[in-house]
Structure 1
């Protein structure tokens, strides 16, 4: 007991002189907080999509293209909003732990609200080309997938779904342009690992859905039983 009090007091002293700021508001984090303070977390624009509360319907993006079991997004993405700041920190500023945190937060909701852990066998993130992976140093989708894996207690892999061509950025492209950019880009390293498996496919942001469509097509062509999609964010 005394030892815990000493550790707690030392941590409080460290926070006084070397405050650990919230990524969004820059206020000092409390000892129980991680990356984002409680006040900012409560202000995050959650979609509630898995509970049927969302105004967006991601499945319409895939209708008539590839069959998906579900499409859920954790947060709404708006320009200059809190979600954009989190995604940019994750993708462009080296804050990969943001992905793990968002994955854990959403995974806990999915486990509690709809028992998603009973309906998934394997989690995979949308892969980066090896050249982009070397440049960035990590795959942001894999960090989200790891967080979901921890919360849902479902295995994940970063080696099954691979990208065989280094495409140009999707930013600024319309849906057709994005599809042409990613068609025939993804492949399965070992089809036996996904055969008859219920796959959860994970990405950072859902926009047109072209990349996720291409990944889903590759998984289903390798005899996956089903594919569901989760993203950390989605445009309205």
Structure 2
């Protein structure tokens, strides 16, 4: 996993700001830092696709933006890799992960995502991008889905990760 750091302090404030429609400058700065970190990661190797974690269409309308998509677009541009913001879609309404305990988070996202064009994943190394990771339930669900569709490797890149031992209620 590639991350900028713990979801606390200034990084936490930046992640929250990037979730707003007005947070484009903050999101751009985080994306540049995350892209630099990814580019300097010697074990990363060749990446074929950058895919953002999708959000439900109604949440996107309310929020005005998908922060993972903002991050992913900048990373793909920096790494000169194909960006696929529509490859994944949310298959059904899910509760906010932040409202749930860890076990409930896994159940909440189970079968919650669909791959629109599975053939693009065949033998691909994918960089899955999200703004924050707490329990890892969403990333694990999506990673499993992409591997079953033929992805050879899925690497997760997040701006912030919940500090160890603080993965939810």
The two structures have a TM-score, normalised by structure 2, of 0.89
Q: Which residue in 1 is equivalent to 2:27?
A: 99
The structure with the larger Rg is 1
Q: Contact conserved, 2:19 with 2:65, CA < 8 A, in 1? A: no
Per-residue CA deviation, residues 33-76 of structure 1 (Å, 9 max, x unaligned), is: xxxxxxxxxxxxxxxxxxxxxxxxxxxxxxxxxxxxxx121122
Distance 1:233 1:196 in 2: 28
User: In 1, are the aligned partners of 2:21 and 2:63 still within 8 Å (CA)?
Assistant: no
Q: CA–CA distance in 1 between the matches of 2:24 and 2:121?
A: 27
Contact 1:100 1:145 (C-alpha < 8 Å) held by counterparts: no
Superposition misfits of 4+ residues, deviation over 6 angstroms: none
1:149-228, aligned counterparts within 5 Å? 149-228=76-155
Partner of 1:17: none
The secondary structure found in structure 2 opposite 1:96 is: helix
Alignment root-mean-square deviation, CA: 1.6
**Unaligned 5+ runs, structure 1:** 1-70
Q: Is the 8 A contact 1:195 1:223 kept in 2?
A: yes
Residues in 1 aligned to 2:12 and 2:108: alpha-carbon distance in whole angstroms: 24
What number of residue pairs does the alignment pair up? 163
Q: What does 1:1-236 correspond to in 2, within 5 Å? A: 71-78=1-8, 81-92=9-20, 94-114=22-42, 116=44, 118-236=45-163
